[in-house]
Amino acid sequence: MNGPGGYFGCNLDALVDCLRGRFGYTAPGTLLWRDAATARAHLSRRLTPHGRTYDLFAETLQILAEGGMRVVLE
């Protein structure tokens, strides 16, 4: 992750690459997620290509935690 306005990727695999790659971000770090309630409302009920629901918000938080990122939800 390359800070404000930096590249985070366009999907979860790209986010994992940003967190685990050898460029930009190095653990530990803190991410301030503003308007988290709005993000949760819109990302918690996503559909897979097969029509199953999944919680993209929770999955993103898990990936960030596994990458050594502390997330502060506002």
pLDDT at 23 (0 to 100)? 65
pLDDT at 42 (0 to 100)? 93
Q: DSSP character for 34? A: T
The type of residue at 24 is G
pLDDT at 2 (0 to 100)? 57
pLDDT at 62 (0 to 100)? 96
pTM for this structure? 0.81
Where are the chain's structural domains?
12-73
pLDDT per residue as tens, the chain (74 positions): 555 666 667 888 888 888 887 666 778 889 999 999 999 999 998 888 899 999 999 999 999 999 899 999 99
- The answer to whether residues 68 and 19 touch, using CB atoms and an 8 Å cutoff, is yes
